[in-house]
Structure 1
Amino acid sequence: MTSVPRLRSYDGWQLLSNGFRPFFLLGSIYAGLAILVWLPVFMGELTLTTTFAPRDWHVHEMLYGYLPAVITGFLFTAIPNWTGRLPIQGGPLLGIVALWLAGRVCVCVTFSAETGWLAAMLVDASFLLLVAAAAAREIVAGRKWSNLNIVVLILVLFVGNFAFHLEAHFNGTADTSIRIGIAVVVMLISLIGGRIIPSFTRNWLARENPGRLPAPFARFDILVVAISVLVLGLWVIWPDGAAVGYALVLAGCLHVIRLCRWAGDRTWRERLVLILHVGYAFVPIGFLLNAASAFGMVPAGAGIHAWMAGAAGVMTLAVMSRATLGHTGQKLIASASTQAIFAAVIVAALARICAVVEPAHSVPLLDLAAFAWAAAYVEFAISFGPVLISYDKR
């Protein structure tokens, strides 16, 4: 992501001058606070006025709550660079932000026992539909047809969210819709990460550490993405058994090879690039742990949390940090506080995975995971919040 080449004259609140500003700030705050709420709910010390079962509220607000906010912030900032068109800002952006907020607490999910499950579903699910429509309009107008695959994934995420509400209401708990959402998130990381990680790595290595460069996006990447789509589709429908287990092993190994082709081992001195490789490493780890789960070797949650707390958690903070610095005219340098953010979210991911694998020690590991996660996201909001609401240095 580079700076938007041109901007319309905007004299309003700076927070609404570009999509990454409100969604990165509010998404990070919500990600941190939601986990701090979830911990006492999980321990039975707090009861929420939601129609969702406690576990489903937690899963929904991570998978269909904070993540769509970060994804939207990225898309609304990246699309003008893809198309050369002006970004969504001001009143239209405020309306989309308000809809996301309404889906979180003001009207719907957290207080759905008061507002009703149907109202919660309609307001909450409509956010992703609106985001997909806005993104499609800009991409079509800019004739960047190859980027419509991202819109397709957003629409599938919308379907998953819609199905989540229906499953939770009619079955008492959600199941398939959770795997749909996770599969979409993994594919978004695979697609977007497959573009930006080798690109940012190449740029830094060519300038600071000449030598072996990452392989560019090519036929091998297309093969990996295509196989991942098929394997994740199989996993959504049939998460257990030898067939899906072997398929998950294949996909995991292909992603390991893909990651090794990006020369991440040569980026130790550049933390803003290194963290992208670390975040992506949780993608193959998730495939392999889910394969182990399919064979009955580890509990199912290990691979799921490798994808969600690991790949999604680390990659969102990595992308938000870099994009915020780059789009506000700051130097692309990981400060001490930024590196602390990265360290905290890695600790959170590893602790959450270990809590599943080692149930005898799950309580202290869950506490560590929750507080490390909250620390990472709240620290992002504290460190980057002033930059997100102020004028660019350019």
Structure 2
Amino acid sequence: MAATKHYESYPKGAFPTYLAYGFRPAFLLMPPYMILSILLWVLYYNGYIALPFIGDGMSWHIYEMLFGVGFLGMAAFILTGAPELFPGTVPIVGKELAALFGFWIVGRIAFWTMGVIGVYPAAIINIILFAWLTLLVIKPILKDPAKRHVSIAYTFIAVQVAQIWFFLSAAGVVKTDPLDVLKLSLGVFLILIILAIRRVNTEAVNEILEHEGYEEIFFARPPAYNLTIFMIALFSALEFFFPQNRALGWVALGTASAALAILNDFINYEETNILFKKLIFSLELVPILIAIGYGLIGYNYLTGMKLFNGDLLHMLTTGAWTLSFYVVMIVVTIVHTGRDIAKARDNFICLGTVSIIIAALLRTAVAFYPEYAQLLYFLSTLFWISPFVIYMIRYYKWLLSPRADGLPG
């Protein structure tokens, strides 16, 4: 199994279980942080509480959902994946791992108090945080003679560039609207998600199929993923430089079509129908939600309906972004705590997936029914946080326990 390849290079010594591998502290922190952030945002946005210390509320909300939460996803993915993808890479564990995530907490405090301490302290801390993570993993990626995963390194760098640009705009050094930079950043993060789910799809689906006795290997083939990445990048760039241009509608529809093409890998598996297997179906829904999101945006541009694209974008954020995090959290938690993913496919996965889809539909519905906006916000929030409550109840005990197979990590 790929999930056990790192043990030849695993550091000697005893480490606390929660610091025994990169995904453990990331996934312990992520659900409560997401729940806290979104609950505070909804209460703040609807005028029930005041958060004067955060500065611009909209920028705070979007930045924390993208970069605050995104860092945890990036760290879990690459710190767990690098020792597998590049044999000989020593896993980051123990005190170094504690220091990294401790600094993430400092970064959150700095950004949450940016209205008091100013932009520059928050910027310096968070830029250093992302640079630290990138430096931890970029060496093995760039040293790989085949350059198989160099796209991940480039996307990490693009995330950092976007973050620096955001802080420069927030400080008034550049004239770009910070919200425009954050919207562009969403495109960069969606590209990173596509890169991640391709690798997760390959590992998870083959684990399940092997357990069930199927011999045909499942391939997450590059063309559809690469086309989707190109189209997301094209749409993001064109929307930034030519906002409200009607041609964006056609590019958005092209992006939706490219995302749907990813499903061909699942459809073309010949030995059996894998489309509706529990966990596999959740993985398939990520490109489907991306397609629906861009499809709605494209339809809005082309028909002139003048719906608020910020609401329609939530099919990508509340929907695809969240589902990708949720499914990857479950896959990594099961596999890397030494359990058989084929045996661990329980109803919690389906329940969480359905809840995220309902949350995305409710939040996107604000564009069509603005008169019910407040009700839709609250209902969407309740459904959105439910999967992460489920995750904490179901999987925290695994994150805090040694691997079930007795191996380190």
- Normalised by the length of structure 2, the TM-score is 0.88
1:337 alignment counterpart: 348
- 1:323 counterpart = 2:332: yes
Deviation of 1:325 after TM superposition, in Å, equals 0.6
Task: Return the match for 1:120 from 112, 122, 126.
Answer: 122
Deviation at 1:143, TM superposition (A): 4.5
- In structure 1, what is the equivalent of residue 162 of structure 2? 160
Cross-structure match for 1:312: 321
- Per the alignment, residue 28 of structure 2 pairs with 25
Rounded to whole Å, the distance in 2 between the matches of 1:219 and 1:374 is 34
**One-letter code aligned to 1:3:** A
Alignment correspondent of 1:98 = 102
Q: Which stretch of structure 1 is more off in the superposition, 154-163 or 187-196? A: 187-196
User: Quick check: 1:147 aligned with 2:158?
Assistant: no
Identify the residue that residue 234 of structure 1 maps to in structure 2. Answer: 238
Among all aligned residue pairs of Structure 1 and Structure 2, give the percentage whose two residues are the same amino acid.
Answer: 21
Give per-residue Cα distances to partners, 1:101-160, cap 9 Å, x unaligned: 11112xx01112232221011112222121112120232345462312112111211122
Residue number among 379, 384, 388 corresponding to 1:377 in the alignment: 388
Would you say 1:111 and 2:113 are equivalent positions? yes
Q: Which residue of 2 aligns with 1:288?
A: 295
Q: Where does residue 52 of structure 1 map in the other structure?
A: 55
CA contact (8 A) 2:166 2:178 kept: yes
The answer on whether the counterparts of 2:249 and 2:301 sit within 8 Å (CA) in structure 1 is yes
Q: Cα offset for 1:189? A: 2.0
- Counterparts of 1:144 and 1:236, CA distance in 2: 34
Aligned with 1:278 (options 285, 309, 319): 285
Tell me how far 1:346 sits from its aligned partner: 2.1
Q: Would you say the 8 A contact 1:197–1:262 is kept in 2?
A: no
Evaluate the alpha carbon distance shift between residue 132 and residue 28 of structure 1 in structure 2; reply closer, same or farther with a 3 A threshold: same
SS class of match (2:340): coil
* Distance in 2 (alpha carbons) for counterparts of 1:269 and 1:10: 43
Runs of 4+ in 1 over 6 A off after TM superposition: none
User: TM-score with structure 1 length normalisation?
Assistant: 0.91
Question: Structure 1 residues 348-357 or 72-81, which shifts more?
Answer: 348-357
| Aligned residue number for residue 14 of structure 1 | 17
Cα shift at 1:69: 0.8
Compute the displacement of 1:328 (Å): 0.3
Show CA shifts across 1:323-371 (max 9, x none): 1010001232233334332222222222111123321222111101111
- How many Å separate the matches in 2 of 1:173 and 1:155? 21
Q: Secondary structure at the match of 1:289?
A: helix
Structure 1 residue 165: Cα displacement: 2.5
Say if 2:359 is the partner of 1:361. Answer: no
Distance change >3 Å, CA 221–CA 118, structure 1 → 2 = closer
Task: Give the conservation status (yes or no) of the 8 Å contact 2:204–2:331.
Answer: no
Q: Which amino acid aligns with 1:347?
A: I
Aligned-partner SS, 1:11 = coil
| Structure 1 residues 294-350: Cα deviation after superposition (integer angstroms, max 9, x where no partner) | 333332124421111111100110011011010001232233334332222222222
Bigger mean CA offset, 181-190 vs 159-168: 159-168
Secondary structure of the structure 2 residue equivalent to 1:266: coil
Please give the alpha-carbon distance, in whole angstroms, between the structure 2 residues aligned to 1:224 and 1:51.
35
CA deviation after TM superposition for structure 1 residue 248, in Å: 1.5
| Inter-partner Cα distance in structure 2 for 1:337 and 1:203 | 19
Counterpart-to-counterpart distance in 2, 1:304 and 1:229:
15
- The reply to whether residue 64 of structure 1 matches residue 71 of structure 2 is no
Q: Is contact 2:289-2:315 (8 Å) kept?
A: yes
C-alpha RMSD of the superposition: 2.5
Offset, 1:2: 3.5
8 Å CA contact retained: 2:318, 2:359: yes
Distance 1:2 1:275 in 2: 22
Q: Deviations over 1:84-104 (max 9, x none)?
A: 122111121111111111111
AA in 2 matched with 1:345: I
Three-state SS of the structure 1 residue aligned to 2:402 is coil
In the alignment, the residues of structure 2 paired with residue 172 and residue 110 of structure 1 have an alpha-carbon distance, to the nearest angstrom, of 22
Gap runs ≥5 in structure 1? none
Contact 1:49-1:110 at 8 Å conserved across structures: no
Give the Cα separation in 1 of the matches to 2:351 and 2:311: 24
Gaps of 5+ in 2: none
Match of 2:195 in 1: 191
Matched length: 392
Instruction: Show CA shifts across 1:186-242 (max 9, x none).
Output: 111222223432553355346548699866414454344334433332233334212
Mean Cα deviation higher: 293-302 or 151-160: 293-302
Does the 8 Å contact 1:187/1:228 carry over to 2? yes
Deviation at 1:73, TM superposition (A): 0.7
Deviates more, 1:333-342 or 1:251-260: 333-342
- Of residues 133, 136, 139, the one that matches 2:135 is 133
